[in-house]
């Protein structure tokens, strides 16, 4: 049973983590969409490193959001809408974890270290692997294009759950 102090803390924390998590996902998607080979090599490389840096900073927030949403509620009295919300969240969680894993692998298989802005760099454990790089990069981009649809569904279900509780 939740105490009054836990309940009063849970709602604002849930909303803050929701906004930070989805805001981070949207920001990363827009940063990834800005990677344009037609803009020239320098602009493309700058866009890639901007996306990589924000991905490294945003990944912990996204993982906290996913953990909070997956483990915060009780499923004993879950409605159909709650179960759909959990299924959408599970798909979003799987997509985010996939992107968090394949993002660094994409950079490392290109043969470079993972630069987080100019703060630090994580060296490549793999070295250059062009065939693997191409495969992982294509899978990363494909799953990234699913994110807006999952975000929209999650946001609608989150809003509906808030309206339904009032």
pTM score, whole prediction = 0.70
Using CA atoms, how far apart are residues 28 and 84, in angstroms rounded to an integer?
A: 25
**For residues 146-165, average pLDDT:** 79
**What range does the domain containing 74 cover?**
4-164
Using CA atoms, how far apart are residues 151 and 128, in angstroms rounded to an integer?
A: 33
Say whether pLDDT at 166 is over 60. no
Query: Domain total for the chain?
Result: 1
Token duo for residue 127 = 């070295």
What pLDDT score was predicted for residue 75?
A: 57
Contact between residue 17 and residue 9 where contact means Cβ atoms under 8 Å apart: no
pLDDT digits (tens, 9 = 90+) for 74-95: 556 667 777 787 788 888 888 8
pLDDT digits (tens, 9 = 90+) for 27-79: 888 888 888 778 887 888 888 888 888 888 888 877 777 777 667 655 566 67
């Amino acid at each position: 049973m939740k105490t009054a102090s836990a309940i009063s803390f849970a709602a604002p924390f849930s909303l803050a983590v929701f906004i930070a998590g989805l805001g981070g996902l949207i920001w990363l998607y827009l940063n990834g969409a800005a990677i344009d080979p037609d803009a020239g090599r320098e602009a493309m490389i700058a866009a890639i490193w901007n996306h990589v840096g924000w991905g490294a900073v945003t990944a912990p927030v996204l993982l906290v959001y996913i953990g909070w949403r997956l483990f915060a509620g009780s499923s004993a009295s879950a409605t159909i809408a709650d179960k759909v919300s959990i299924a959408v969240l599970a798909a979003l969680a799987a997509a985010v974890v996939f992107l968090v894993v394949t993002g660094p692998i994409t950079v490392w298989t290109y043969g470079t270290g993972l630069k987080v802005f100019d703060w630090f760099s994580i060296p490549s454990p793999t070295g250059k692997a062009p065939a693997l790089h191409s495969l992982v990069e294509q899978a990363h981009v494909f799953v990234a294009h699913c994110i807006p649809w999952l975000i929209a569904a999650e946001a609608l279900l989150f809003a509906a759950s808030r309206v339904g509780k009032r």
